[in-house]
A and B are shown apart, each in its own frame.
Chain A
Amino acid sequence: MSKQKLTAAGGTEPRSALLQALLDKDTMLEFDDPLGSDMVLNMGPQHPATHGVLRLLIRLDGETVVRAIPDVGYLHRGYEKLAESCSYHEFIPHTDRLDYLSPISNNVAYVLAVEKLLGIEAPPRAQYIRVIGAELSRLASHLVWFGSMAMDVGALTLLLWTFRERERIQDIWDILTGVRFTTSFARIGGLAQDMSDESAQMTKEFIDQLPKNLDECESLLNKNRIFIGRCDGIGILSKEDAIAMSASGPVLRGSGVARDIRRDEPYLVYPELDFDVITFDGCDSLSRYYVRLNEMRESIKIIRQALEKMPKGPVSAQEPKRVLPKKERIYTKMEELIHDFMLINFGINPPVGEVYHAIESSKGELGFYIISDGRGHPWRLKIRSPSFMNIQALPIMLKGGMISDIVAIIGSIDPVMGEADK
């Protein structure tokens, strides 16, 4: 066994020596094991606890992890390449499918990058609705994480409880965007539609009852010795390592680094809203657990303020050559028909240049880097996906842990493979 060459890339096809050396540096599982007492275990992509199709190659000594190598790409759909043949509008639905647990966040992140490229801004009401949508999707994503984290350590009931809450968010989305799951809600320069009073009322009712239900869910775990024992002190990612591995979001804040793009590089109307950046400096799974838990309460706070402060007004910028007009106007007004025809057939043609814009999504820093050559579709679009970056830190966290810890650590990173594999 020790003689076998085991690499994450795994293939047998010949590679150039340099490429192989580069791959080996990070992906080799082969090292001295004269007694042959170690075991190489393949975890995933078909495994109940790897959150989709994450694959891990693990070298084990007994139940202890000697080395672990994550292998991504099983959900690769080539979105970055696909973007190069989509118009800017056409790419919006694809962003839903990145982090499919928080679709509105992704929509917002993408359109903000495009708006930055165009130099336009959405009207205030649209910005508030975007904030509400993004925070709702943070809640939805964290609720799913909460349940599946509990399930990873063996508490099966909580998943259904948090899904019940998430279901209410999806009902809100149903009214707000017309779709429950893949919302495609944001538009360049605004939103697909205004927030109705009904959806605002639903959102309000939802955030009013959520804290109570969250308390109920937490009561199953927060004082549970087994749960704390399973999460405390495992998956250590020191502050320095977290920064070096470019971790972001709750993973970074769980290592005691107070970085939150909503506060550090404000976008939308976040500066006008009052919220705290949650950090815990335990650097372990438990800290990341508490970071997310408390973030949910901050999100509730943000949504409540945004609902109160939200002004009346239009939800689309007055930029006829950039922003898609309303359907009913296209059917009745000549000018809108012409703009629609031009926008659909030739795109928005932003100025030549490159732009990077990142938002704080539920998983961390979600950034879109766009290079435009002045035509209707991006010349290059790069997605900086937080899950992908956070998975980079897995080998550090897993080393020295046990098999049971692996799932608790993956759970605390909360990767969504749709986003990591793009």
Chain B
Amino acid sequence: MDFVDIIFVVFALIVVVSAFIVVFSRSIIRSAFSLLFTFFGVAGLYVLLNADFLAVTQVLIYVGGILILILFGVMLTTNVVSVEIKTGTLQTVPAAVIVAVLSGTIAGIFWFTEWHTAPAREGPTTKALGTLFMTDYLLPFEIASILLLVALIGAAMIARHERGTEGGR
């Protein structure tokens, strides 16, 4: 086994094991923290695929942004200090049916799709990505940024509104 393969296996194990903890842990906070390792493992897999920019973006956005947002959400919305937050198992039978159907579909897609494989491209991707964003994919890129901007303004408005009512009470 090649050294790179070993690293791949390590990363893959990190991703899978921590993802399992995310799903099966009964404490939401514990799940959120295992998500950290999942995100990192995925970033590692990106590196192995020569997608350096993507890997760093993964860390920046998911670990530095989304994970912290999740932690904030969990910590702020509930009484973390006094009450233990647990996730329970509900609706076992319908859940099992849906899971079976979904995994069947995914397995089917895996099985029947013709995968186009190409050798990994060496070298930096940042410049190529940037050029593509500014040429072929300019419209989706701009639409995505406007969408984010709208969401940002919306969030600010909601926060402002809440603060106003609080001041009034």
Contacts and interface: CB of A to CB of B under 8 A. Distances in A.
Interface of A: 1, 36, 39, 61
A39 B166 contact: no
Q: Which 3 A-B pairs have the closest CB atoms?
A: A36-B79, A1-B82, A1-B79
B4 interface: no
B81 interface: yes
A1 B79 CA distance: 9
Contacts of A36: 79
A266 to B, nearest CB: 48
Contacts of B82: 1
Contacts of B81: 39
Nearest to A39: B81
A243 B133 CA distance: 68
A402 to B, nearest CB: 14
A61 B79 contact: no
Nearest to A38: B79
Nearest to A36: B79
A397 to B, nearest CB: 19
Contacts of A1: 79, 82
Contacts of A61: 166
A39 B82 CA distance: 10
A39 B79 CA distance: 9
5 contacts: A1-B79, A1-B82, A36-B79, A39-B81, A61-B166
A411 to B, nearest CB: 27
Nearest to B82: A1
Interface in B62-77: none
Contacts of B79: 1, 36
A1 B82 CA distance: 8
A364 to B, nearest CB: 34
Contacts of B166: 61
A61 B82 CA distance: 16
A36 to B, nearest CB: 5
B74 to A, nearest CB: 14
A36 B166 CA distance: 15
Contacts of A39: 81
Nearest to A41: B81
Interface string B33-70: 00000000000000000000000000000000000000
Interface string B75-91: 00001011000000000
Nearest to A4: B82
Nearest to B166: A61
Nearest to B78: A36
A36 B81 CA distance: 11
A39 B83 CA distance: 13
A1 B83 CA distance: 9
B98 to A, nearest CB: 33
A419 B81 CA distance: 35
A257 B166 CA distance: 34
B79 to A, nearest CB: 5
A33 to B, nearest CB: 11
B168 to A, nearest CB: 13
A96 to B, nearest CB: 43
Interface string B151-167: 00000000000000010
B72 to A, nearest CB: 12
